[in-house]
Chain A
Amino acid sequence: MLLIPCPYCGPRSELEFKHAGEAHITREPQVADDQAWGEFLYTRTNPKGIIAERWRHTSGCGRFFNCLRDTVSDNILATYKSGEPRPSLETSGEPSR
């Protein structure tokens, strides 16, 4: 069970959260052609390594936020508010696999 640092509430047990899929999937209904829209709907990166994903603190503040997690170790490298850019991890020295 993960210990997830909610950007609003601090570290809380995974029990309080709900996973909400990959982050930074841009919704552009006006410009996307059928192919691009299909990928928006159904294609995800599913990396072995660091993924940016969305969580919602359902049993806490109720906010959606983003999280960088290493899918190999399950270590959480950063959490940040929705709308903020994906943080750079260069300083942490974590290789992106």
Chain B
Amino acid sequence: MSGALRLPRGGRIDRNQPVRFTFDGRGYDGFVGDTLASALLSHGVHLLGRSFKYHRPRGILAAGAEEPNALVTVDRGGGRWTPNLRATQVELYEGLVAKSQNRWPSLAFDVGAVNSLVSPMLGAGFYYKTFMGPRFVKGAKLWADLFEPAIRRAAGLGEASRDPDPDHYATRFAHCEVLVVGSGPAGLAAATSAAQSGARVILCDENPVFGGSLADDNHAVIDGMAADAWAAATIEALAARPNVTLLPRTQAFGYYNHNLIGLNQRLTDHLAQPDHRAPRERLWQVRAKHVVLATGAIERPLVFPDNDRPGIMLASAGRTFLNRFGVKPGTRVVVATAHDSAYRAALDLAAAGVQIVRIVDLRESSEGALSVAAERAGLPIMRGATIVGTSGTTRVRGVRIGRVSGRHVTDLESLACDLVLMCGGWTPSVHLFSQSRGKLAYDEGSNSFLPGTPAQDQVSIGACAGTFGLAQILRDGHRAGHAVIKMAVEDRDFAVVGDDESTGAGFIGATPHDRDPTQVKAFVDFQNDVTAKDIALATREGFRSIEHIKRYTTTGMATDQGKTSNMNALGIASAELGRSVPSIGLTTFRQPYTPVTFGSFAGLSRDALFDPVRETAIHGWAAAHGARFEDVGLWKRAWFFSRAGEDMHAAVNRECQITRERAGLFDASTLGKIEVVGPDAAEFLNRLYTNSWTKLGVGKCRYGLMLNEAGFIMDDGVVGRIATDRFHVTTTTGGAPRVMAHMEDYLQTEFPDLKVWLTSTTEQWAVIAVQGPRAREMLAPLVDGLDISAETMPHMSLQVGTFQGVPMRLFRVSFTGELGFEVNVPADYGRAAWEALWAEGRKFDAVAYGTEAMHVMRAEKGYIIVGQDTDGTVTPDDAGMAWAVGKTKPDFVGKRSLGRPDLVAPNRKQIVGLMTDDPRTVLEEGAQIVGDPTPARGTHALGHVTSSYFSAVLGRSIAMAVVEGGRGRMGETLYIPMPSGSISAKIVKPVFYDLEGVRLNG
């Protein structure tokens, strides 16, 4: 049955709903409303994990998101495996399976704990020295191969699942007038007063139930109601408002520019049997007009020797487990404090029957109401005292305490206990404020950084702003809620009775002790195993700024980002250096506040939805005819069409040969297409392309070369003049959006005087290339009587007509060097047009060819592919295309740059052809080219291979390359060094087939 330490009543658990769960294979029970941590504590289980570096036994330090130690893996089966969850936030459900991490073979006996014995090696700067240092000394390879992997294995968190994440995740964008982060008293008051105006309000909280600290408070009375009841009534009223969205289990993890807040909402992880069709988490991107931060404060541990044993926890956590979950976290407790608020925990525990062994107060005196009450209640208090050590292995068994006398501790005494509660004071949670780029201001009186001037439309209220009295918090919250929307609502006083109003500076840094400072471990950062000694060492080694100390010691760099440790680290550095805290600085807080799953960030952008897939109208036909596809940008393009028993090489050879012998069909629909229209269309193209367009007649085409402003080739394509004021521009498949944006840029910003309209028509036209000596015969019966004879329709001309009744733009162009046409029909008719052409093609035994054959055939003719044979540093002259540059034009994009000294310098790399001495050798694309057959290391490369294929028609390999001064090296033999030896090749003109161009004009 229920754990022995469970109270008979009290808390937010439902004692009528018991649930069973396992931890490390052992069965336990708890109640609905428990967290894994509270349920384990009800059974007296404190040992939950092993520490990161030293593998020290660790328990539960906190009760919420700041927990650094108690990280567990939850396994739901079927790949639903989540590591590194904070046990203090894992909600219990029937059948929960949780496991501890970073231990082998078992949690109680962990081999890795030997790290503790070699801990002198693992001190501050260990990672820094290990991973940075040995690179500069001999043996670096040994480190990289042997030591580093072993160290990384030994120091670790939980393991990730190796299976794909079977869950799915939702994404939502939202807008509101007021976003309130945190549902404690400040957040509830602010949300209520903002909601009263009718403004859209979103209230989020990381916990499953709203109310924040009110859930732990069984003393305060607000407006005549117990704190918890007041919270419940307030939440009920908020929930009834249509303008309020309540988001429990929702972590505000990131504060971004212009009041965009990232929220991670956990939807199903708390359910025993979630509907797997429902999203597991939802990522909210909320754009808020105003943000109210009511994120509260986090209690600081005290840094005394061996302060990390299981059973040593924050005082507020002890109180939360008692009041919120009805669990006694121990039976005999020593309370160590430097702040009044721990007395409340002691009083509550005492009232529940827990023995208070001693309250050890670091302060010499305290007149706070709580310490007075504790004294009256007869609790044993020792002032001006501290803990100097603890005992116990997997659970604390006792403490050693003494009186502080300057830097010494005297009158040592041992006390037996099974729980230590500690409180160094409170650190306002300014993480989100800091992420919003607001400047923090150090408040000497409270030993804390408080929000200064906000950088965005935002206000911090309550404990995160350093305000701790409940009445004041409620008043501030009420005011903030309407003030942010500039609504005139009167201030409101809440009737608060029984609030502790415990304030005080607390303590930062390491507490004094009498032990050998080089031997003890007093932990500052529990998750990264950083001790007070490590930080002191860093300061002795010369580090002055906290940014450097942090990186050297790794303090504050774990997944909890130092929520419980940053201020103590600063306090130690401040004491060691004898400088004030603000002069040492505060590290930057970064998103996310707590870790967020990758699934949540990815949302729907995974698998088939990761990127859209673009398919042409002819895709289905190609798939049905044995096409293998390749990705070109987002497009799927038919790569080659494989017949039974054919490999790629055989298929490509056949496609090339038959196209050149008879005819081939090619789906060119992916070519980018832009309709350029308007009275100044020709002038616009004059300025955007190197070529001259004024004299291009209607019904004619021209190859266009586009440069960027720096003078380098950025795109090319055939441009046809449909009418005096209308051009059909084609671009490369991958370049279409870039070219469109480039054209729009110049049209809108440089040449706004031109009357031109640009329209992307890439997806409007299906394009079928009909190539080969029989192309005209194949096409003629289908174009409704259009005269396509060589006389009427020579190379580089176009006609507008119909294709079996469908509107058609017919171009006489060729990317193969054969007689060729490109049939443009509306995309909806693309498949029908293709099938009609294919039916005609059967009469000639034509082939369908894919992109690979297209590449081979264009290379046989030396036609470049922009982006393959060019790389953004190639000018028209480098490409052997000076003929395409209209030299008499006054201006075009890139023209001025073509005259820059470097672009006319001799010995630039030029595009050439390469013929290997061995005709069977196909060079590797990208391979370097040198002049020496046996080049020494570091030999200057003259260029590289850009395109390389086996040409079936020529019966040998061919290649294109860029080579320094290439056109002046015709006939020269150069070398391509490969692992198996240098390959010799001769420089030739980049034309390998039909050098006279006879076939093209057939």
Contacts and interface: CB of A to CB of B under 8 A. Distances in A.
Interface of A: 1-3, 13-14, 18, 20, 27, 29-30, 32, 34, 37-38, 41, 54, 56, 58, 62-64, 73-76, 82-83
Contacts of B258: 1-3, 74, 76
Given A1-B257, A83-B749, A73 B741 contact: no
B684 to A, nearest CB: 16
Interface stretch (B55-63, B157-165, B891-899, B987-995): B891-899
Interface string B744-755: 110011101000
Nearest to B745: A64
A62 B257 CA distance: 23
B745 A41 contact: no
B257 A83 contact: no
B612 interface: no
10 closest A-B pairs by CB: A29-B896, A3-B258, A82-B749, A64-B748, A74-B257, A1-B260, A2-B257, A64-B749, A41-B710, A2-B258
Contacts of B285: 1
B709 interface: yes
B744 A62 contact: yes
A6 B319 CA distance: 52
A34 B900 contact: yes
Contacts of B673: none
Given A3-B287, A13-B287, A29 B749 contact: no
Interface string B315-358: 00000000000000000000000000000000000000000000
Contacts of B744: 56, 62, 64
B468 to A, nearest CB: 31
Nearest to B708: A41
Nearest to A23: B749
B897 A41 contact: yes
A62 B899 CA distance: 33
A38 B711 CA distance: 12
A27 B260 contact: no
Nearest to B173: A13
B439 to A, nearest CB: 11
A30 B709 CA distance: 14
A55 to B, nearest CB: 12
B260 A3 contact: yes
B256 interface: yes
B437 interface: yes
Contacts of B257: 1-3, 14, 74
A18 B259 CA distance: 20
B406 interface: no
A32 B752 contact: no
B901 A34 contact: yes
Contacts of A62: 744
> Counting chain B CB atoms within 10 Å of each CB, which of A3, A29, A73, A82 scores highest?
A29
A82 B751 CA distance: 11
B140 interface: no
Interface of B: 173, 256-260, 285, 287, 437, 455, 709-710, 741, 744-745, 748-750, 752, 890-891, 895-897, 899-901
28 contacts: A1-B256, A1-B258, A1-B260, A1-B285, A2-B257, A3-B257, A3-B260, A14-B257, A18-B741, A20-B745, A27-B709, A29-B891, A32-B896, A34-B899, A34-B900, A34-B901, A41-B897, A54-B749, A56-B744, A64-B744, A64-B748, A73-B455, A74-B437, A82-B748, A82-B749, A82-B752, A83-B749, A83-B752
A56 B745 contact: yes
Nearest to B901: A34
Which interface residue of B173, B741, B749 has the most chain A CB atoms within 10 A?
B749
Contacts, number: 58
B260 A41 contact: no
A41 B709 contact: yes
Contacts of B710: 41
Contacts of A76: 258
A92 B173 CA distance: 31
B748 A63 contact: yes
Contacts of A54: 749
Contact of A37 (B750, B752, B890, B896): B896
A3 B173 CA distance: 13
Contacts of A64: 744-745, 748-749
Contacts of A56: 741, 744-745
Contacts of A34: 899-901
A64 B747 CA distance: 10
Given A30-B891, A38-B900, A83-B749, 10 more contacts: A1-B258, A1-B260, A3-B287, A29-B895, A30-B890, A64-B745, A73-B437, A74-B257, A74-B437, A82-B748
Contacts of B897: 37, 41
Nearest to A82: B749
Contacts of B752: 82-83
A3 B285 CA distance: 12
Contact of B750 (A1, A14, A27): A27
A88 to B, nearest CB: 22
A29 B455 CA distance: 42
Nearest to A3: B258
A76 B745 CA distance: 22
Nearest to A41: B710
Contact of B741 (A3, A14, A58, A63): A58
A56 B740 CA distance: 13
A56 B741 CA distance: 9
Nearest to A42: B710
A9 to B, nearest CB: 15
Nearest to B899: A34
A2 B901 CA distance: 41
Nearest to A14: B257
A48 B381 CA distance: 56
Instruction: Give the interface centre of B259, B260, B896 by most chain A CB atoms within 10 Å.
Output: B896
A20 B256 CA distance: 22
Given A3-B260, A13-B287, A37 B900 contact: yes
Contacts of A14: 257
Nearest to A20: B745
A14 B896 CA distance: 34
A1 B287 CA distance: 10
Chain A CB within 10 Å, residue with most, of B285, B287, B748: B748
Contacts of B899: 34
A59 B299 CA distance: 47
Contacts of A2: 257-258
A37 B901 CA distance: 11
Nearest to B744: A62
A20 B745 CA distance: 9
B130 to A, nearest CB: 36
B433 to A, nearest CB: 14
Contacts of B900: 34, 37-38
Contacts of B896: 29, 32, 37
Nearest to B752: A83
Nearest to B894: A29
Contacts of B709: 27, 41
Nearest to B758: A62
Nearest to B256: A1
Contacts of B259: 3
B754 to A, nearest CB: 14
A24 to B, nearest CB: 11
B444 to A, nearest CB: 28
A17 B744 CA distance: 14
A13 B287 CA distance: 9
Nearest to A62: B744
A29 B897 CA distance: 9
A54 B744 CA distance: 13
Contacts of A37: 896-897, 900
A1 B73 CA distance: 33
Contacts of B901: 34
A41 B894 CA distance: 10
Contacts of B173: 13
A70 B437 CA distance: 13
B222 to A, nearest CB: 37
